[in-house]
Structure 1
Amino acid sequence: MASDGEEQDAYILGVNKPVEEFTGEVIAIIHRLNDVEDKWVVAPEDELYSKEQIEEQVQFQEKYFEYEIECAEE
């Protein structure tokens, strides 16, 4: 559960179709500095993305927030 009491939100990278369920690996966390929610960044196993690649993929939504990206492979 997320800090807002709802289920955790996640961006799924590497999948280009709608999914109802997905099993992958959390590769990063987006810490929103001006919001109560963090977002997980999930990708298929063995697929890695740089901070820059993650930022490109989530910018459509995250452009409205101040945030930092913490990658699992740092």
Structure 2
Amino acid sequence: MDYLSQTVKVIIDRPMCSRHPEHENLYYPINYGYVPHTLSPDGEETDAYVIGEFVPLKEYTGVVVAIIHRTNDDDDKLVVTNKINRYSKEQIMALVEFQERFFDSKIITE
């Protein structure tokens, strides 16, 4: 499924200001979760970064404005917000750098 410009519901399992359950040094400055009832190549539900929200959330409905394509991993990430065309690729990368710095990533937008 092509997720760009689609409205999706994200279940937040790593809310803003939380730490990774296995990697204690990884802190989430933004909300991070998954889109239920989807399947990504890693066998898990499709992961999503939620940007433009500044409080910890439990769930979120927004529009996919970008896809983070990892060239050295099979697990792409969605970027979801309610502010379409508000963020440049550079701004998106700055917001997700806390985790994407460990991968070769490129941002796909429309």
Specify if TM > 0.5.
yes
**Secondary structure at 1:9 match in 2:** strand
Unaligned 5+ runs, structure 1: none
1:3-38 per-position Cα deviation (integer Å, ceiling 9, x unaligned): 111111100000111211100000000000001100
Correspondence for 2:53: 15
Unaligned 5+ runs, structure 2: 1-38
Correspondence for 2:95: 57
- TM score, norm. by length of structure 2: 0.61
Between the two proteins, the alignment pairs up a number of residues equal to 72
1:16-65 per-position Cα deviation (integer Å, ceiling 9, x unaligned): 11211100000000000001100000011546210011011000100000
More relative contact order, 1 or 2 (CA 8 Å, 6+ apart): 1
Superposition CA RMSD, Å: 1.2
Matched-pair identity in %: 50
- TM score, norm. by length of structure 1: 0.89
**Secondary structure at 2:77 match in 1:** strand
Amino acid at match of 1:61: Q
Q: Which has the higher strand share?
A: 2
- After TM superposition, the runs of 4+ consecutive aligned structure 1 residues lying more than 3 A away are none
Q: Which has the higher helix share?
A: 1
